Copies of this chain bind each other. A is one copy, B any other.
Amino acid sequence: MNRSILLKERPAGKPVLDNFELRQEEIPTINEGEILLKTLYVSVDPYLRGRMRDEKSYIDPFKLNEPLESGVIAEVTESRNPNFRKGDYVSGMLQWKEYQVTNGNGLNKVNKEQAPLTAHLGILGLTGITAYLGLEKIGNLKPGETLLVSGAAGAVGSVVGQIGKIKGCRVVGIAGTDEKISWTIEKLNFDDGINYRTSENLRKSIANACPNGVDVYFDNVGGEVLDAALANINKFGRIINCGAISLYNETEIPVGPRPEGILIKKSALMQGFIVRDYVKEFGPAINQLSKWFQEDKLKYSETLIEGFENIPQAFLDLFEGKNQGKMVVKV
């Protein structure tokens, strides 16, 4: 038998397990030109929350009573497509199903010898590419500058900070536990870190950790952490608005201090970044990330959850900050 996970109802505020449904179905059969895929690893990511809303955005919303989808690593178990052979490993945007049929469009073959399979969901996948292109397209890092990153121990943030170090910057991370901060400093070579949950005054904590101010802030969380970063931004500072996980479960647009005064005063920039806008540059980005990875300049961590049926719980855990590095479900 086959299993799939469907969106039963759209979450109101914070998602809960009841929003999802596990369905049993037949394992499908393939026609000429198609392949049968067995799902091995499933990526869960904060941005998926946005697709659960019924509103127009940069990517179509999930449909009710249909399987969700995200980045997946799968194995080809049958092929009637000359481009794929049984035993190939592929990555791509695929449905939350144990087995599924596709014509192979949009899939990339992955080489098991080059890096662990799950690296293609994280550091060599969409999250690594997001970190790299966000910094390239908006950050414009210069050696000696100070880079601040939130969600520092997360899938994107942990790569952002390491690229900052490669570029010769002072890197300060913001995360929600002391363990995460220690990991970014001891294993990833960040210069300093701030636990936003225990900081009494985040604005001052950032000022202390960034004595020369903040030149580039890579924001994965939004909200009050962004406010505190903006209060420390330097002249000509750049803020990459890559994520706003602190706001994803809000039902109305939350209010906060208006940014326009400080943006003007500092000639600073805030720019939204969506990696899908730069699909044509994914190839060069993966090449650069792979090179750094093989040179041992990029390390990664992942939080591996076992069991297909646990995909929804793994997704919910993202909003509790339970992951260190990429959150991946092993099927």
Q: Could you list which residues of chain A lie within 8 angstroms of chain B, going by C-beta atoms?
A: 50, 57-58, 219, 222-223, 226, 235-236, 241-244, 247, 253-274, 277
Contact = CB atoms under 8 A, between A and B. Distances in A.
A263 B270 contact: yes
B277 A260 contact: no
Nearest to A264: B272
Contacts of A262: 272
A241 B264 contact: yes
Contacts of A277: 236, 267
Nearest to A59: B265
Contacts of A244: 258, 260-261, 264
Nearest to A244: B260
B235 A264 contact: no
Contacts of A271: 263, 267-271
A96 to B, nearest CB: 24
Contacts of A223: 258, 260
B219 A260 contact: yes
12 contacts: A57-B265, A58-B265, A58-B266, A253-B258, A254-B257, A255-B255, A256-B256, A263-B270, A264-B273, A267-B272, A270-B270, A270-B271
Contact of A222 (B57, B219, B255, B258): B258
A272 B272 contact: no
Given A241-B263, A263-B241, A268 B258 contact: no
A49 to B, nearest CB: 11
Given A255-B258, A258-B254, A58 B267 contact: yes
A219 B263 CA distance: 12
Contacts of A58: 235, 265-267
Contact of A255 (B257, B264, B273): B257
Nearest to A263: B272
